[in-house]
Structure 1
Amino acid sequence: MQISVIIPVYNAAKYVRQAVESALSQPEVAEIILIDDASSDNSFNICQELANESPIVKLFCHSDQKNHGASASRNVGIQKANCDYIAFLDADDFYLPGRFKLAGEQLTKYPEIDGVYEAVGTYFEDENSKNTWISIGRGDNKLTTINEIINPELLFETLLLNKEVGWFHANGLLVRKTIFNLTGYFDENLEFSEDIVMWFKMAAVGKLLPGSLEIPVAMRRVHSHNHVTRFHEKLVYYSNLPRWETLFIWGYKNGLESRKLALLFRQYADSLTNQSLGEKNDLIHKNFYNLRKFIVMMLLIIKYPK
């Protein structure tokens, strides 16, 4: 098995060397693709050094040399990847030893499976970062994982409807490159939640198996410059309206099976109307809610024809 590891880099001069070295230590990794997203610190120079030090480390930039965000950078990485398997790593995070052992075995054993998700641990850079993490409702749980075994056929609905089941992180995912023929690339119009949108797409049209769910295979670093800690209010907004609208339109345009499409639309309509309805549960308001859902669906279909 040969794996392409894609690492978007933006102002990660302090961390990117550890990220790359953690990927280099994995025997299955055949190439590491760095995409510098117009960093304003010393990231590009460090990436150049890393590329000069190892023939499997490759450095790219966007053609216009401008900042385009994590989605566009990951998409460049996918397009440049030469291996049949794709893994992601954020530039401020790092893999643990044996990162791909179990996932690789699963993908080799089950050729019909598109990917494997595994647990990711949390590394707090300092006490302030930990306190901020807790204060925004992330709790003190250091493991990002799915907390039960889920049939791949039920993964999409489970993630959508059961908030208690947990979640997985980009650092803990290994997929066949062919899955992007089904999902398309990362949505470059989303400022936040672009990764979660992609995982929903993968769960909707692909088959993902669990790997190591209790022992982490990688670590996400929490520090003062994380998107999660810096832009918490925006992330709350993006976890609702833009996420669900994007997913519904994607499903509609790509002929997603009607049951799954209906679930996506319900999520979008609920996020759009719940705030205006508040605690009103009488029949008039419920009828208004249902009418509004219908109008929203019609407007979306008109706005985004197939």
Structure 2
Amino acid sequence: MKISVIIPVYNAEKFITQAVESALQFDDVFEVILVEDQSPDNALEVCKNLSVKFSRVKLFQHPDKKNHGAGASRNLGIEKASGEFIAFLDADDYYLSNRFDAEKELFKNIETDAVYGAIGVEYYSEKAKEQYYHIYQDKLDTVYKKTNPKDVCPGQMNLRGSFGLIHLDTLTLRKSALTKADRMFDVSLRLHQDTEFTTRLSFYLNFYTGINEDAIAIRGVHENNRITKVETKQINPASTKVLYWQKLKEWAEKEKRIPLEYKTHITRMHRSFEIANANFPKKLGMIFKYLILDYPSIRSGLYNINFREGLL
């Protein structure tokens, strides 16, 4: 295999060396592409040193040298990648020694476009564990069981019950298959752009389950995790989810090949998070509106409200 590992780098000077070295342990990793995204710390200098020390490490920045977010950084990495396969790694995470074991077998099948597996968790400090254990605990995050590729897209949309998670750290893509997709990462989303990407991409590509009973990568949790900080703030989490479902709704409205069942579900989920995110007067108005038009949206919306407030 000839794998390009793409690492967006922002505020990760303490962790990026570990991430890079975990990728370089594999002979199949042809290159590690660092996309430095105007970090406020010393990450750029660390990346420069890594690119000098290791011939397989390549460093890029956005043309204007400004911050564009993880999605845009991954898009730039895909553009610069010259490997036959593409894998992703967050700058504060790392690969385990079995990371590409399943890929070596599954990609022998030319119909395999993507392979995903399970991710574990490590708390980099006791303070981080105290703050975030209630979110990640010590469990594996993955798709719960080996899944037929045709069921991966609706599964990620929770169309048929609980499904699980595809984390980018565990995803490997056949680069040539990306021509089947409508686009890469949606740069307008600062949160959930990875979930939107894997959900939308799995509609076009054949996603196969790799190793999901053991971790193949580790999510590093520390006090400055950007996503974790957002998740634990006292804000309505529906405010970020409504944008995620809005983007899927816009995509579903344009993509003529999407089954009506998918479109109906996406619209319903978007409405439900709109209800959960609205202020009280608007919430009541939407409930009365959808009471006639789409009662399941109200039911889902009320669930999201209760979940947010800790009632469920």
For normalisation by structure 2, the TM-score amounts to 0.85
The offset of 1:236, in angstroms, is 2.1
**Could you tell me which residue of structure 1 aligns to residue 273 of structure 2?**
271
**Counterpart Cα distance in 2 of 1:218 and 1:199:** 17
User: How many residues align structurally?
Assistant: 289
Secondary structure in 1 aligned to 2:5? strand
The offset of 1:37, in angstroms, is 0.3
Secondary structure in 2 aligned to 1:133? helix
1:247 aligns with 2:248: yes
The offset of 1:219, in angstroms, is 0.6
Question: Among 154, 164, 167, which residue is 1:166 paired with?
Answer: 164
**Could you tell me which residue of structure 2 aligns to residue 61 of structure 1?**
61
Contact 2:36 2:61 in 1 (8 A): yes
Contact 2:253 2:263 in 1 (8 A): yes
**Could you tell me which residue of structure 1 aligns to residue 223 of structure 2?**
224
**Counterpart Cα distance in 2 of 1:267 and 1:148:** 24
Contact 1:17 1:50 in 2 (8 A): yes
**Counterpart Cα distance in 2 of 1:284 and 1:73:** 41
Secondary structure in 2 aligned to 1:20? helix
**Counterpart Cα distance in 1 of 2:112 and 2:58:** 28
Change (3 A) 1:66 1:223: same
Secondary structure in 1 aligned to 2:128? helix
**Could you tell me which residue of structure 1 aligns to residue 122 of structure 2?**
123
For normalisation by structure 1, the TM-score amounts to 0.87
The offset of 1:285, in angstroms, is 5.8
**Counterpart Cα distance in 2 of 1:89 and 1:72:** 15
Structure 1: 5+ residue runs without aligned partners? Answer: 294-306
Q: Percent same amino acid among aligned pairs? A: 33
Contact 2:238 2:276 in 1 (8 A): no
The offset of 1:239, in angstroms, is 4.8
Contact 1:143 1:216 in 2 (8 A): yes
Secondary structure in 2 aligned to 1:157? helix
Secondary structure in 2 aligned to 1:209? strand
Structure-to-structure mapping, 1:1-306, within 5 angstroms: 1-108=1-108, 110-135=109-134, 138-161=135-158, 162=160, 164-181=162-179, 182-232=181-231, 233=233, 236-237=237-238, 239-259=240-260, 260-273=262-275, 286-287=291-292, 289=294
Change (3 A) 1:144 1:14: same
Match for 1:257: what amino acid? I
**Counterpart Cα distance in 1 of 2:195 and 2:239:** 10
Change (3 A) 1:163 1:278: farther
Match for 1:159: what amino acid? Q
The offset of 1:20, in angstroms, is 0.5
The offset of 1:243, in angstroms, is 0.4
Change (3 A) 1:243 1:179: farther
The offset of 1:164, in angstroms, is 3.1
